[in-house]
Amino acid sequence: MMSSSPASGAEPAVSVRDLRVVRGGREVLHGLTFDVPRGSIVGLLGPSGCGKTTLIRALVGVQIVKGGTVTVLGAPAGSAGLRRRVGYATQSPAVYADLTVTENLRYFASVLSAPRTDVERVIDEVGLGGSRHQTAVTLSGGQLSRVNLAVALLGAPELIVLDEPTVGLDPVLRQELWELFRELAERGATLVVSSHVMDEAGRTDRLLLMREGDILADGTPDGLRSRTGAADLEEAFLHLITEKSGSPT
Ligand SMILES: Nc1ncnc2c1ncn2[C@@H]1O[C@H](COP(=O)(O)OP(=O)(O)OP(=O)(O)O)[C@@H](O)[C@H]1O
């Protein structure tokens, strides 16, 4: 399994070794090992139920693990010192329905001890300037997802972990968000972004393709395409499944 090290030789942003997680009495992550280089966008791709959210929960330190280690920015995942250095957006927006966009962000900025000036910055970054005074309950699903993302960007975290941030968004908005992810990475942040949409995979620097609690492949989108001889990443994924199990189902 992958164990890439960043080209610079710097310590990886995330280092996972033999991670095992049991949920509901069943092992759902079966000994994952990988690194995430700093300043990169790593996509966590795989079908529903393969373990993306569980892995993300382990990265942010809210998942009880059965075995293995998860090291984030040089410290054990979930350490108190990582609180402001790691931004996390859950799959379902976790915002207060009766507060406006600005009020929600002010509240979370104060909880995270992020500068108040961050509120306007993140509102602009996610393109919610026109809705800043709307209460969350009146926002569309796409707007709510962007508030959720904005919360994860407060405090300019070094590692940004996003669980399916583009679900339910239209293609234009999805493209804009991926451009924002790229900008954040260029400014030095590391992003781990889960998705089950294969056409988003090509926008990442590295891909972890997951299936049934295992990592099927770990590499660059181009590397995976050329390794499998596939025209696109969806085909590459199917190829890897066949290679592993002898059957694409
Ligand atoms: N609270 C829970 N209790 C027991 N089992 C769970 C729980 N949450 C998830 N699971 C199981 O863990 C496995 C991995 O689920 P997980 O949510 O991590 O997958 P996922 O790839 O994020 O799926 P999706 O794309 O649908 O969100 C699945 O088999 C799921 O049924």
Q: What's the pLDDT at 246?
A: 62
Is residue 95 one of the residues assigned to a domain? yes
Q: What's the pLDDT at 232?
A: 85
Q: What's the pLDDT at 247?
A: 53
pLDDT in tens, 102-117: 999 999 999 988 999 9
Q: What's the pLDDT at 199?
A: 81
Q: What's the pLDDT at 92?
A: 87
Q: Whose CA is nearest to atom 3 of ligand 1?
A: 24
The reply to whether ligand 1 has any atom less than 6 angstroms from the CB of 8 is: no
Which of the 8 DSSP states describes residue 200?
A: G
Interface predicted TM-score (ipTM) = 0.96
The reply to whether ligand 1 has any atom less than 6 angstroms from the CB of 163 is: no
The reply to whether ligand 1 has any atom less than 6 angstroms from the CB of 53 is: yes
Is residue 49 one of the residues assigned to a domain? no
The reply to whether ligand 1 has any atom less than 6 angstroms from the CB of 50 is: yes
CA of 52 to the centre of ligand 1 (A): 8
Map residue 15 onto helix, strand or coil.
strand
Is residue 149 one of the residues assigned to a domain? yes
Q: What's the pLDDT at 9?
A: 56
The reply to whether ligand 1 has any atom less than 6 angstroms from the CB of 9 is: no
Residues in the chain: 249
Kindly tell me the sign of the dihedral angle through the C-alpha atoms of 63, 84, 185, 134: positive
CA of 134 to the centre of ligand 1 (A): 33
Identify the domain containing residue 123 by its residue range.
86-156
Q: What is the pLDDT along the chain (249 residues), one digit of tens a residue?
A: 344 444 445 789 999 999 999 999 999 999 999 999 999 999 999 988 999 999 999 999 999 999 999 999 999 999 999 988 999 999 888 899 999 999 999 999 999 889 999 999 999 999 999 999 999 999 988 899 899 999 999 999 999 999 999 887 888 888 888 999 999 999 999 999 998 888 888 899 999 999 999 999 999 999 998 988 888 888 888 888 888 776 544
pLDDT in tens, 122-146: 999 999 999 999 999 999 888 998 9
- The number of distinct structural domains making up the chain is 1
Is residue 64 one of the residues assigned to a domain? no
The reply to whether ligand 1 has any atom less than 6 angstroms from the CB of 48 is: yes
Q: What's the pLDDT at 83?
A: 86
Is residue 140 one of the residues assigned to a domain? yes
Is residue 234 one of the residues assigned to a domain? no
Which of these, 214, 218, 215, lies nearest to 204 by C-alpha position? 218
Residue 226 structure tokens: 């050329």
Distance (Å, whole) CA 139 – CA 89 = 17
Map residue 163 onto helix, strand or coil.
strand
Is residue 189 one of the residues assigned to a domain? no
Q: What's the pLDDT at 64?
A: 96
Q: What's the pLDDT at 171?
A: 87
